[in-house]
Structure 1
Amino acid sequence: MNNVLWGLAANPALPPELVDRLIAWAVAEPDPSEALVEDSADDLVDDLVRAALTGRADLGRAQVATLAARDEDTAVGLARGGHLTAADVDPAARPYAALALLDEGRGLPEWARLFAADPSPDIRWKLASCPGLPPDVVTALAADPDVEVVTELALWTAEVPEADRLARHPHPEVRGAAAANPATPAAAVTALAEDPELSVTWVFAERTDLPQAVYARTAADPRPGVRATLAQNPGIGPELIRVLAADPDEDVRRSLARHPRVPLDVLVELATTLRIGPALLPRIAAAPPCEVAELAASPHAAVRMLVAQRRDLPAELRDALAEDRDAAVVRAVAPHPGLSEDRLRSMVSLHGAQVLSAVAANPDASGALLEHLTGHRPPVRRVFKEVARHPNATGPALLACLADRRARPLAAAHPALPAATVTALLADEDSWVAHEAAANPALPRTVMADLVP
C-alpha cells in the first residue's frame, strides 16, 4: 500500500485537498502500539512518500510549513526544492536545512560564520563544500583541527589563492584533494607530480590546463583507465592524439573517438576498426556542413552511421541516409525528427526487426505506426520500451507493452493508458508497476480519494 502512496504523492493530478490529506498522514507520528511491528521497508517508503511530497511544484505555504515541521530530512528536501527561503529556516533548529540553502547559494553569510564554529565536525565538513563562503569562513575552515574538514574545503573551494595554499598543506590527503580542484592553479598541480606521498596521475588525465609535457608523461601510465581518461581530455594536443590513436588498448582508442578535436582522418580510422557505439560524438556534433556531407558519403557504413546520429541534418541528407543500404545506418538515422510516416514505414518494410526500436523512438511516429510496431511478429522487446515512453502512444499500443516485463512500469505511467487499466495496475504484483500507476495522471480522482488515508 505504501508504494502506491509513494507514487500518488508524486501524481501531478492529485487535487489540493487530497494533497492536504496525504501530508497529514505523512507527517503523523506512528502509533506507539504499532511501532513494534512496523516493517523497516515500510518506514523507508514512508520517508519516500514525504520526499515525493516535498518535490511537488504545487505546494502552498501552509503545506510547506506542515512538512518542514516534520523532521530535518523533510526540511532539507524542501530547501533544495526551492520551497524554503532563508526567512523560513532557523539555523539552530534546522542546521542541515540551513546548510542546504547555503549549498544552493540562498543562505545567509552569518549562518556560515555560525557553522564554522560549530562543535560538530559533520556540520563544518558540510559547510566546507558550500560555494560563495565569506573569506573569513574559508580561512577558518582551512585551519580547522579536523583534517577531513580541510580536505573537503581543498576539494571544493573556488578561491584560487586558498586552493593554491592548500596544495602545499602538510597533510597529503589535503594536497591530493587540492590537486583535484579545478580552482587550483596548474603550476601547483604540476608541482604535485613530484610529491612522493601522492599519486595524482588521474588528476593529470582530467585537468584541461596542464602543459603538454605533463600529458605526455600521463600517456605512458601503465593503467588503461588513466590513458582512456586522458584520451577524452580537450587539453591534449594533436601530436598526443595520434600517439593515443595507436594505443594497444581498445578502450583507450574508443575514448579517443570522444575527443572534441580528434582529426577527421583519425576518427574515420577509429570508426572502421572499433565498435564505438551509438552515441553522437562531440567531433561529429561540431562538424561543419562540408564535413557532414563528406562523412555521409563515406564508403564505410560505420562512418555514415556516425553522422547519422546527428539530429540536425539537412532534410536531403537525412532522407538519403534513411534509404541507406546498411541497416545500422538506417537504425542510427531513424529517430531523426522530420522523417515522414511513409519513410518510417518503408524502413520497417526493408529492414524489419533491425530498425523497429529505432523507428519507435522517432518523435514523429504516429499512434497508428506505434501500434503496428508493437504487433510485429516475432515481437522485438526493445520496441515495447520505446513505445511505452512515447508521447504519441495509444491505448492499444500501451496495452501491448504491458506484456513486456521491462516496459510494463513505463506503460503503467503513461497518461494515454485507459483509466480502468491504470486502476487495475494498483494491485500489480510488481510494486514498482503499482507505484507508477499511482503516479499516472490518468488515475481517476475517485480512486485517488479512496487511496489516501
Structure 2
Amino acid sequence: MHHILCGLAANPALPSELVDRLISLADDDLADDLACRPDLSRAQVLALAERVEESAVRLAYEGRLTAADVDPAVRPDAALALLDRGVGVSHPEWARLLAADPAHERREKLAACPGLPFDVVDTLAADPDVRVVAELALWTADPDVTARLAAHPHAEVRRAVAANEATPPAALAALLTGEGPPTARQCLVCDREDIPFVHDPQCSRPDCDLLSGASCDGSHESTVHRTQEAALRNPATPVEAVVGFVDHPSMPLRWALATREDLPRQACARLASDPTPGIRADLAENPALDEALIRAMADDRDPAVRRALAHHPRAPLDVLTRLAGTAKVAATLLPRIAAASPAEIEDLALSPDPAARMLVAHRRDLPPGIRDRLADDPDARVVKALAPHPGLTEAQLRAMVERHGVRVLAKVATNPDATPALLEDLTRHDPVVQKAFREIARHHAAPASALLACLTDAQARPTAAAHPALPPPAIVDLLTDTNWQVAEAAAANPSLPMAVMSDLAWHRV
C-alpha cells in the first residue's frame, strides 16, 4: 500500500485536503514525494518540514523554507542546507554553532558551504577529523586557505587540495611533482593499519572503507598517486608541469591528461598513440586536437575511439561521414552537424552517401524543403533519423512506415505531430514492434485505445498507467497490479477519480 500513497502524493490533481492527510502520515519516502509538489501552501511546507526532518532539508534546498523558518539548534541539517545555498554571509552564527557539532558528518557538510566566516574556516582547518579538513580543502574558494592546506601533514588533505581549482598554480605544481612542502606524515591507510599494508581488493571487513588497492609503505604511495591524478585533471595546474606525465608508466595518470584542453600538440600526438583505448577515446573529444590529428585518429582500430572522435566539435564533415559508416555514430545529433552552416546542410542532404544524409537528418530545424526531401529518402537509416522531426504530416509519417516498416516505426511513434489515429494504427502493426509501445505510452497525443494496447507490453505498462488519457476504470484496475511500479504510476495519474483518491488516502492506509 505504501507505493500507492507515494504515487498519490505525486498526483498533480490531488486536492489540498488530501495533501494535508498525506502530510499527517508521511514517512521519509512519502515526504520526499510530497516535497516535490509545486502546489504546497506555506502552511503545508511548514507542516511537512515539522513532520520529517529530511523533507525540511529538501524544502530548504528548493528555497521553500527560509532562514526565518529554521532554528539551527533544532534542525541542524536544514540549517546546513540553507548554508549550502549561500545564506552563511547573513547568518555567521549558524556556521559557528555547526562548526562545534559533535557529528563529524555535519562538520564535513559545513566545510563544503560557501561564504563561511574566516574564524569558522580556521576552526574547520584545524578540525581533529581529517575528513572535515579534506572537505574544506576540496571546496573552499579561498586560494590562501588551499595554499596553506597544501602543506598539511595529512596526505588526504593534500589530495583534496589538488582537486580544488582555487588552489594556486604553484601549489598544484608542487603537489604534482613533489618538489615543495615536506613529505606528508600520515594517510588514511597508515592511520588505520600497520605498514607496509596493501588493501585487499576482495576485503570482506564490513566496517572497512579503504579504497581497493590502497597502500602505504611509509611513503603513502596510493594517496600520493591519487593526488597526482587530481592535479593532472585540475585545469588550474600549469600545463608545463603536466606534460612530463604524457609517457608516465601509470595508466591512470596518462588518462588524467587526455581531457585537458590546454595540451600542446606534441602531447596530444603522444596520447593519440597510447596503448589504452580509453585514453585515446577521451582524447578524441578534446578540443585541443587539430585537424591533422583528428584525421589520423579516424583510422583508430578501436570503434569506441572512432565514436568519440565523431563528437569532436571540429571534426571535418568528410571525416564524420566516413565515421558514420564504420563506428555507428549517427544515432544522435553530433556537435559538428548541429553547428553546420545552411550551405553545409544542403550539401549533406544532397550527398550521394546515405551516411552523410543520415547525419544531417538528425537536425530538428531543417528547412521544409530539405526535411521533405529526406522524408522520401530511399535509405531506411536516413528516414529513421528524420522521423521525429516536427512538421511532418500524417501522410508523410504513414508513408515512412509503409516503405520501411519496422525499421522506422518506433521513431515515427516519437514524432510530436503524430496524430491519435496514427498512434493507434502503429500499435496494430504486423509484425509488432514492442519498442513502439514504449514511445506511444509517453506520447501526449496517445488515445485511450492505443494506451490500452500499450498495457500489454511489460516495459510500456508503467508509463501507460500514468498517462492521463487512459480511461479511469483502467487506471483503477491498475492500482492492484502485481508490479508496484505500475500501481504507483496509476495512483499518480491525474485522471484517477477523485473518490478513489479520497478512499486511498483515508481508508486504505
| TM-score bracket, shorter-length normalisation | 0.7 to 0.9
Give the structure 1 partner of residue 14 of structure 2.
14
Q: In terms of mean alpha carbon deviation, does 374-383 or 121-130 score higher?
A: 121-130
Residue among 401, 413, 433 paired with 1:360: 413
Choose the corresponding residue for 1:376, options 408, 426, 429: 429
Show CA shifts across 1:315-340 (max 9, x none).
11111111111101100010011111
Given the superposition, is the C-alpha separation of residues 162 and 430 from structure 1 closer, same or farther in structure 2, using an over 3 Å criterion?
same
- Alignment partner of 1:62 out of 43, 50, 72: 43
Residue 449 (structure 1) aligned with residue 474 (structure 2): no
> Which TM-score applies when normalising by structure 1?
0.88
The code of the aligned residue for 1:50 comes to A
Alignment of 1:318 onto 2:333? no
Aligned to 2:138: 155
Q: TM-score, normalised by structure 2?
A: 0.79
Asked if the contact 1:308/1:332 (under 8 Å) is kept, the reply is: yes
Is this contact kept in 1: 2:324–2:330, CA < 8 A?
Answer: no
Q: Is the 8 A contact 1:190 1:210 kept in 2?
A: no
Deviations 1:429-448 (A, max 9, x none): 11110000000000010000
The residue aligned with 1:403 is: 456
Displacement of 1:5 after TM fit? 0.5
Distance apart, 1:247 and its partner CA: 3.3
Percent identical residues? 60
Q: Per the alignment, in what secondary structure is the counterpart of residue 38 of structure 2?
A: coil
SS in 1 for 2:44: helix
Q: What aligned pairs does 1:288-303 form with structure 2 within 5 A after superposition?
A: 288-303=341-356
CA distance in 2, matches of 1:182, 1:232: 22
Asked which structure has the greater CA Rg, the reply is 2
Structure number with greater CO (CA < 8 Å, separation at least 6) is 1
Q: CA deviation at 1:70?
A: 1.9
In the alignment, structure 1 residue 124 sits paired with structure 2 residue 107:
yes
Distance in 1 of aligned mates of 2:164 and 2:489:
40
Partner of 1:89: 70
**Distance 1:303-1:446 versus aligned 2 partners, 3 A rule:** same
The 8 Å contact of residues 186 and 210 in structure 1, kept in 2 or not, is answered as no
Q: Is the 8 A contact 2:349 2:357 kept in 1?
A: yes
Q: Are the equivalent residues in 1 in contact too, given 2:304–2:327 (CA < 8 A)?
A: no
State the AA in 1 paired with 2:114: P
Out of 275, 283, 286, the position equivalent to 1:233 is: 286
List runs of 5+ in structure 2 lacking aligned partners.
Answer: 179-220, 230-252
For residues 218 and 142 of structure 1, what CA distance do their matches in structure 2 show? 38
1:213-242, Cα deviation, whole Å (9 max, x unpaired): 554555455432233223223344445434
Aligned to 1:273: 326
CA distance in structure 1 between the partners assigned to 2:265 and 2:97 by the alignment: 44
Asked whether 1:75 is paired with 2:56, we answer yes
1:440 aligns with 2:493: yes
What residue number does 2:83 align with? 102
Partner secondary structure for residue 51 of structure 2: coil
Post-superposition shift, 1:160? Answer: 4.6
Q: Once the 2 structures are TM-superposed, how far is the Cα of residue 380 of structure 1 from its aligned partner?
A: 0.3
Q: Amino acid of the residue matched to residue 294 of structure 1?
A: D
Contact 1:167/1:175 (<8 A) preserved: yes
Residue 136 of structure 1: how far off its partner (Å): 4.8
Letter in 1 for 2:2: N
**Residue by residue, what CA displacement relative to the aligned partner does 1:28-53 show, whole Å, maximum 9, x if unpaired?**
xxxxxxxxxxxxxxxxxx42111101
Question: For the residues of structure 1 that align with 2:317 and 2:168, how far apart are their CA atoms?
Answer: 32
Q: Does 1:304 align with 2:357?
A: yes
Give the alignment of 1:399-438 within 5 angstroms.
399-438=452-491
Shift of 1:403: 0.6
Contact conserved, 1:85 with 1:106, CA < 8 A, in 2? no
Contact preservation (8 Å) 2:260, 2:286: yes
User: For each residue in 1:351-380, what CA deviation from the matched residue of structure 2 results, as whole angstroms up to 9, or x when unmatched?
Assistant: 111111101000011111101111111210
| Residue in structure 1 matching 2:446, options 366, 376, 393 | 393
Render the CA deviation track for 1:360-417: whole Å, top value 9, x for unaligned: 0000111111011111112100110110000001100101100110000000000011
Letter in 2 for 1:84: L
Contact 1:272 1:300 in 2 (8 A): no
- Within 2, Cα distance between the matches of 1:126 and 1:187? 28
Report if aligned partners of 2:312, 2:335 keep a CA contact under 8 Å in 1. yes
* 1:349 aligned to which of 366, 378, 402: 402
Identify the residue that residue 42 of structure 1 maps to in structure 2.
Answer: none
Using the TM superposition, give the Cα deviation of residue 308 of structure 1 relative to its aligned residue in structure 2, in angstroms.
1.0
RMSD: 2.5
Question: How far has the Cα of 1:78 moved from its partner?
Answer: 1.8
Letter in 1 for 2:315: V
Change beyond 3 A, Cα 1:152–1:259: farther
CA drift of 1:122 comes to 1.1
Q: How many residue pairs were aligned? A: 434
1:37 aligned partner: none
Indicate how the Cα distance of structure 1 residues 301 and 133 shifts in structure 2: closer, same or farther if over 3 A, else same: farther
> CA–CA distance in 1 between the matches of 2:438 and 2:58?
31
Contact 2:321-2:359 at 8 Å conserved across structures: no
Q: Following superposition of structure 1 onto structure 2, how do residues 179-194 of structure 1 map, counting pairs within 5 Å?
A: 179-184=162-167, 189=172, 193-194=176-177
Match in the other structure for 2:183:
none
Given the superposition, is the C-alpha separation of residues 270 and 133 from structure 1 closer, same or farther in structure 2, using an over 3 Å criterion?
A: farther
Q: Does the aligned pair in 1 maintain the 2:101–2:107 contact within 8 Å?
A: yes
Alpha-carbon separation, structure 1, partners of 2:294 and 2:438: 38
Distance 1:18 1:71, change over 3 A: closer
Pick one of 291, 315, 319 that aligns with 1:262.
Answer: 315
- For residues 379 and 307 of structure 1, what CA distance do their matches in structure 2 show? 29
Segment drifting more, 225-234 vs 436-445: 225-234
Once residues 174 and 289 of structure 2 are traced to their aligned partners in structure 1, the CA distance between those partners, rounded to angstroms, is 19
Structure 1: gaps spanning 5 or more residues = 27-45
SS in 2 for 1:206: coil
- Please tell me whether the aligned partners of residues 330 and 358 of structure 2 are also in contact (alpha carbons under 8 angstroms): no
Distance in 1 (alpha carbons) for counterparts of 2:51 and 2:478: 31
User: Structure 1 residues 321, 440: closer, same or farther in 2, change over 3 A?
Assistant: same
